Amino acid sequence: MEKIKPAEAGGEYTDINKTIAAISTPVGTGGIAVIRVSGERAVQTVDMVFRGKEPLGQAPTHTVHYGHIISADATVIDEVLVTVMRAPRTFTREDVVEISTHGGLAVSRMVLERLIEAGAYPAEAGEFTKRAFLNGRIDLSQAEAVIDIISARTNEAQKNAQTQLAGTLSSKIDALRETLISLSARMQVAIDYPDEDLENVTINEIERVCRDTLAATRALLDTADSGRILREGISTAIIGRPNVGKSSVLNILSQTEKSIVTDIPGTTRDVVEEYVSVGGVMLRLLDTAGIRDTDDAVEKIGVERSRKSIEEADLALAVINGSSEFSDDDKAILRLADGKRCIVLVNKSDLGASNTADDVRDFCADCDVLEVSAKTGAGFDVFADRIAGLYGSGALSQSGGVIITNARHRAALSRAAEALEKAADALVSGMPQDIASIDISAAAQALGEITGAAIADDVVENIFHNFCVGK
Ligand SMILES: Nc1nc2c(ncn2[C@@H]2O[C@H](COP(=O)(O)OP(=O)(O)OP(=O)(O)O)[C@@H](O)[C@H]2O)c(=O)[nH]1
Ligand SMILES: [Mg+2]
């Protein structure tokens, strides 16, 4: 079979009239792979390369068909199941056909190439979801929720993304925006026809609507910190002297051997990163080089990175060797975490009881001090409880359902809040209504960017390019 080069990405293929195809399952080997085809000619295109009991042309919607994908020289490429879904009850609202093949990389690629020979265009990143948006099935914040569901690493993050996909955020935003638009329209009439005896909007009413909408916008903005945590995890720097067991802590929490552990002080040089779920909360763990004065050039860089990662972290996880004295070096390291939330793990508890934990408590009244063993796992259940208490669902759910997890939404809400503040201030200081009216429209515009009701095309393009191909 002649190889077909994937078409170069370009404006041409964003054309909604084209039938597109892509492998929608992850690259690699698995039980099955799914190749998704969407567009006006989806059924005909697949029919050209499919041999089953009957052609797919007459297949009713939402039916599954057994058969084979056949190469140009009539040899069998794979035994497949084909699902035919006709518009409009599909993900893209277009005709969609999904071909389930055996999960080999070569097989799914050959099937995709066959489809391209038959006239399909390779889908761009996010193009299926973009079509769902362009065809009005979902709005922009729901499309973004699709990415979040795919990339969710904890149950909490996944639940929040599902809520967003269900349109909870959209309906909140739409309601706020509609209030502003109707207010602005009534103000406009009063401005344009000042002499008519129309039912005028009073300054008081305008100000009240601005303040109410501002309060609702701020309430959403207040959830953004929890939202960032939900999405990106708590960035947690594991810090401590060399050889205290920092890498062992990362390994036991992630149940991997990702970080190299040896009894040689100065083992870790680079910052090792791993996402783990602890107490239902996602932590982005950063295992760092043990902090000490060193002449080793490579280790020196590691120590510098370690200091930097503490600065950028949400949480410092300071590890101390409980089988040795609480030293001045330990104290210096705890001081680096001053002003941060800090949990101290007094490690190696399996080596016998010591006073080290009490000494740490005396030194640092604000620190949460836990005795653990990265060797046996003792004490890590208490650690998980502590994390759940600090960042878990109880802490998040106070915000009443909707949580802003997306930086783009946050920026748009900030702009809306700013515009509403300006409008309210203008009214209070007795400026003409047109001035406030401009700000109120700007606030409505900013809110509209969240759902995509009012947004520039290039921003939309940019959002969908963050998707993976096949989604
Ligand atoms: N007995 C005991 N040994 C431990 C425990 N945690 C770590 N160790 C041992 O301590 C040594 C150092 O562990 P690492 O995890 O490499 O320590 P580190 O802090 O990452 O060291 P550097 O990367 O050199 O800064 C290894 O020999 C580990 O097996 C523990 O809880 N109990
Ligand atoms: Mg290490």
CATH of the domain at 424: 1.20.120.430
Bond from prior residue into 88 cis (ω within 30 degrees of 0):
yes
Q: Same domain for 270 and 367?
A: yes
Cα separation, 266 vs 141, whole angstroms: 46
CATH code of the domain in which 247 resides = 3.40.50.300
Q: Same domain for 277 and 372?
A: yes
Query: 53-57, 99-103, 160-164, 274-278: which range is least confident on average?
Result: 160-164
Q: Same domain for 257 and 371?
A: yes
Q: What number does the ligand 1 atom closest to the CA of 319 have? A: 19
Closest by Cα among 230, 229, 224, 232 to 409: 224
| Mean pLDDT of the 303-313 span | 86
Left (φ > 0), alpha (ψ -120 to 50) or beta: where does 178 sit? Answer: alpha
The reply to whether 373 falls in a domain is yes
CB of 432 sitting under 6 A from ligand 1: no
Q: CA angle, 323 as apex, 321 and 327 as ends, to 5°?
A: 55
CA-nearest residue, atom 21 of ligand 1:
243
| Mean pLDDT of the 375-396 span | 86
Cα separation, 450 vs 174, whole angstroms: 9
CB of 373 sitting under 6 A from ligand 1: yes
The reply to whether 100 falls in a domain is yes
Q: Same domain for 330 and 410?
A: no
Q: Same domain for 365 and 274?
A: yes
Ligand 1 pocket test: which of 238, 246, 248, 293 has the largest number of ligand atoms within 8 Å of its C-beta?
248
Single out the residue in 373, 397, 421 at which a domain terminates: 397
Q: What is the SS3 string spanning 194-224?
A: CCCCCCCCCHHHHHHHHHHHHHHHHHHHHCH
Cα of 261 from ligand 2 centre, angstroms: 6
CB of 375 sitting under 6 A from ligand 1: yes
Q: What is the SS3 string spanning the chain?
A: CCCCCCCCCCHHHHCCCCCEEEECCCCCCCCEEEEEEECCCHHHHHHHHEEECCCCCCCCCCEEEEEEEECCCCCEEEEEEEEEECCCCCCCCCCEEEEEEECCHHHHHHHHHHHHHCCCEECCECHHHHHHHHCCCCCHHHHHHHHHHHHCCCHHHHHHHHHHHCCHHHHHHHHHHHHHHHHHHHHHHHHHCCCCCCCCCCHHHHHHHHHHHHHHHHHHHHCHHHHHHHHHCEEEEEEECCCCCHHHHHHHHHCCCCCCCCCCCCCCCCCEEEEEEECCEEEEEEECCCCCCCCCHHHHHHHHHHHHHHHHCCEEEEEEECCCCCCHHHHHHHHHCCCCEEEEEEECHHHCCCCHHHHHHHHCCCCEEEECCCCCCCCHHHHHHHHHHHHCHHHHHCCCCCCCCCHHHHHHHHHHHHHHHHHHHHHHCCCCHHHHHHHHHHHHHHHHHHHCCCCCHHHHHHHHHCCCECC
pLDDT for the residue numbered 27: 80
CB of 348 sitting under 6 A from ligand 1: yes
Q: Same domain for 256 and 391?
A: yes
Cα of 316 from ligand 1 centre, angstroms: 18
Chain centroid offset of residue 468 CA: 13
Ligand 1 pocket test: which of 238, 250, 254, 261 has the largest number of ligand atoms within 8 Å of its C-beta?
261
Q: Same domain for 56 and 123?
A: yes
pLDDT digits 0-9 by tens, 121-156: 999 888 999 999 989 999 999 998 888 888 787 777
pLDDT digits 0-9 by tens, 219-269: 999 888 777 777 778 899 999 999 999 999 999 999 988 888 999 888 888
CB of 244 sitting under 6 A from ligand 1: yes
pLDDT for the residue numbered 395: 52
362 or 300, which is more confident:
362
pLDDT for the residue numbered 454: 81
Does residue 92 have a pLDDT over 80? yes
The reply to whether 438 falls in a domain is yes
Least distant ligand from the CA of 348: 1
Domain range for 342: 230-397
Using only the alpha carbons of the chain, give its radius of gyration: 29
Does residue 1 have a pLDDT over 50? no
The reply to whether 141 falls in a domain is no
Single out the residue in 352, 376, 397 at which a domain terminates: 397
Number of domains in the chain: 3
Ligand 1 pocket test: which of 243, 293, 301 has the largest number of ligand atoms within 8 Å of its C-beta?
243
Mean of the per-residue pLDDT values for the chain?
87
| Mean pLDDT of the 187-211 span | 79
Q: Name the band, by pLDDT with cuts 50, 70 and 90, for residue 3.
A: very low
Cα of 230 from ligand 2 centre, angstroms: 27
Does residue 383 have a pLDDT over 80? yes
In which order are the strands placed within the sheet that holds 63-70? 50-52, 63-70, 76-85, 96-102, 32-38, 20-23, 121-122
pLDDT for the residue numbered 455: 79
pLDDT for the residue numbered 458: 77
Does residue 444 have a pLDDT over 60? yes
CA-nearest residue, atom 11 of ligand 1:
263
Does residue 52 have a pLDDT over 90? yes
Q: Same domain for 237 and 335?
A: yes
CATH code of the domain in which 16 resides = 3.30.1360.120
Least distant ligand from the CA of 267: 1
Cα of 306 from ligand 2 centre, angstroms: 11
Cα of 327 from ligand 2 centre, angstroms: 19
The reply to whether 146 falls in a domain is no
Q: Same domain for 71 and 51?
A: yes
* Cβ neighbours, 10 Å, residue 233: 22
pLDDT for the residue numbered 6: 31
Q: Same domain for 376 and 249?
A: yes
CB of 261 sitting under 6 A from ligand 1: yes
Closest by Cα among 234, 286, 216, 295 to 258: 286
pLDDT for the residue numbered 8: 35
pLDDT for the residue numbered 97: 98
Percent above pLDDT 90 for the chain? 54
Does residue 379 have a pLDDT over 80? yes
pLDDT for the residue numbered 196: 64
Cα separation, 275 vs 382, whole angstroms: 19
CA-nearest residue, atom 14 of ligand 1:
245
Single out the residue in 376, 397, 418 at which a domain terminates: 397
pLDDT for the residue numbered 65: 98
Cα of 264 from ligand 1 centre, angstroms: 9
| Mean pLDDT of the 210-218 span | 95
26 or 331, which is more confident:
331
pLDDT for the residue numbered 398: 46
CB of 405 sitting under 6 A from ligand 1: no
CB of 266 sitting under 6 A from ligand 1: yes
Q: Same domain for 272 and 346?
A: yes
Least distant ligand from the CA of 241: 1
pLDDT for the residue numbered 10: 35
Cα of 297 from ligand 1 centre, angstroms: 22
Cα of 300 from ligand 2 centre, angstroms: 14
pLDDT digits 0-9 by tens, 259-295: 889 998 888 888 889 999 898 888 999 998 888 888 8
pLDDT for the residue numbered 48: 96
Q: Name the band, by pLDDT with cuts 50, 70 and 90, for residue 400.
A: low
Cα of 289 from ligand 2 centre, angstroms: 6
Q: Is the dihedral of CA 403, 405, 407, 408 positive or negative?
A: negative
The reply to whether 459 falls in a domain is no
Q: Same domain for 376 and 275?
A: yes
The reply to whether 280 falls in a domain is yes
CA-nearest residue, atom 13 of ligand 1:
245
Cα of 339 from ligand 1 centre, angstroms: 27
pLDDT for the residue numbered 197: 57
